[in-house]
Amino acid sequence: MAPPMRFFSLLLAIPASADILFATSYNDHTVTSLRLEGSTLSVVGKNLDCGSEPTWLTLDKTKSRLYCLNEGWGGNASLTSYQTRADGKLTTLDILPVLKSPVSSTLWGANNERLAVAHYDTSTFSSYDVSNAKDLRLTKSETYTLAAPGPVPDRQEAPHLHDAILDPTRKFLVSPDLGADLLRLYRITGNSWTAITPAKAVPGSGPRHGGFAVHGPNTYFYTVNELSNTITGYKVTYSGSSISFAQILNFSTHGPGGSVPAGTSSAELEISPDQRFVLISSRNEASLTIPAFDGSATTIPSDPIISFAINPASGQLTLTQIAPAGGLNPRGFSLNKAGTLVASALQNDNRVVVYKRDVKTGKLGAVVASATVGEGANNGPNYVLFNDC
């Protein structure tokens, strides 16, 4: 029997040319290279050199370099550098042991010669010299403690840095600290940094990921908060060698007055390439249903990707859409450089899904393609990244 028409309606958005994506997955310990061509997302390579729990990926497109963090729960944590190829295959350049639980990284410094890393469980912010991708080296680190647990003591018993973000001026680094309810701040001087007074987040919110948006003279910063399932916005002000954050909004990940089911856990935040929209993912909701990917007449549950439009003058956010992420536990997702595609990593479903996105409205549309990534129950793909920016 032919699959129902509603399944085919999900496959209307077909990109004009092939794209390469990279995805990490815990359960098979791989960095998987994927090729998106037409309505087909196919596996073109697997690499096991990012260790036991590969997670965050950072791309230096100009140098054809990819950096992978291994959280190291099942062994030693590490940072792996790769040479990328046009066909998606990866060549390992170096593997450096690092402090346990690196969860996010960003390139900074002259010619992107440094990589900043946030370490969750070991409460540390560190940086590495990546000027020679075949010889990675630790350059600096700073570890934090808490005098007392935070408002959510079982999750805020210690500092838990969860992201590393370079500001638009390339003069500061920001690391949301889920455990301490802080935005850790660092001033950049050349290829080094100095910790400066952090900005305070909403108590008990647990900031997880964040991103900057620039609109003319206005700079805004947004965080998605894992413990409170909220999004917080800040107006950013620069004065000489300092940076400050003034809170301008704080509401549910489902918009002002919205609510989420018990057990929900906010995950990723991305700013659209045109900086007009904030997108976040939310885990453990199972609040939506979508047609099954096997072409049957059944439906499957899905967590959402939620989009907000940014008011350029005020930084306020307007809820635009609550759309399916393609399945359960969308821990990580990313947009392509044009903002026309969103790739979602579904950790509980061993699936990567690519959606069409309308750049003008900011809304996700039809499914372009999907692929199985990861092997075994749960703990599948946790991050996915386009090889184009």
Task: Give the helix/strand (H/E) hosting 20.
Answer: strand 19-25
Token output for 233: 């916005």
The predicted pLDDT at position 84 comes to 98
Q: Bridge partners of 67? A: 58, 81
Q: What gap in Å lies between CA 99 and CA 112, rounded to an integer?
A: 22
224-256 confidence digits (pLDDT tens): 999 999 999 999 999 989 999 999 999 999 999
The predicted pLDDT at position 203 comes to 98
The pLDDT of residue 1 is above 60: no
Q: Give the C-alpha distances (Å, rounded to integers) separating 110 from 57, 134, 174.
A: 20, 18, 18
Q: How many CA atoms lie within 13 A of 29 on its CB side?
A: 11
**What total of structural domains would you count in the chain?**
1
Q: Provide mean pLDDT across the span 277-297.
A: 95
- Residue whose tokens read 């092997």: 375
Q: Measuring CA to CA, which residue among 109, 16, 108 is closest to residue 58?
A: 108
Q: What gap in Å lies between CA 18 and CA 21, rounded to an integer?
A: 10
The predicted pLDDT at position 17 comes to 64
176-230 confidence digits (pLDDT tens): 999 999 999 999 999 999 999 999 999 999 999 999 999 999 999 999 999 999 9
Taking the CA atoms of the chain, what radius of gyration do you get in angstroms? 20
Task: Give the helix/strand (H/E) hosting 82.
Answer: strand 78-84
110-158 confidence digits (pLDDT tens): 999 999 999 999 999 999 999 999 999 999 999 999 999 999 999 999 9
The pLDDT of residue 12 is above 70: no
Domain hosting 262: range is 5-386
Q: What gap in Å lies between CA 8 and CA 348, rounded to an integer?
A: 24
What's the CATH code of the domain at 352?
Answer: 2.130.10.10
The pLDDT of residue 13 is above 80: no
Residue 155 one-letter amino acid: R
310-345 confidence digits (pLDDT tens): 999 999 999 999 999 999 999 999 999 999 999 999
- Summary mean pLDDT of the chain: 95
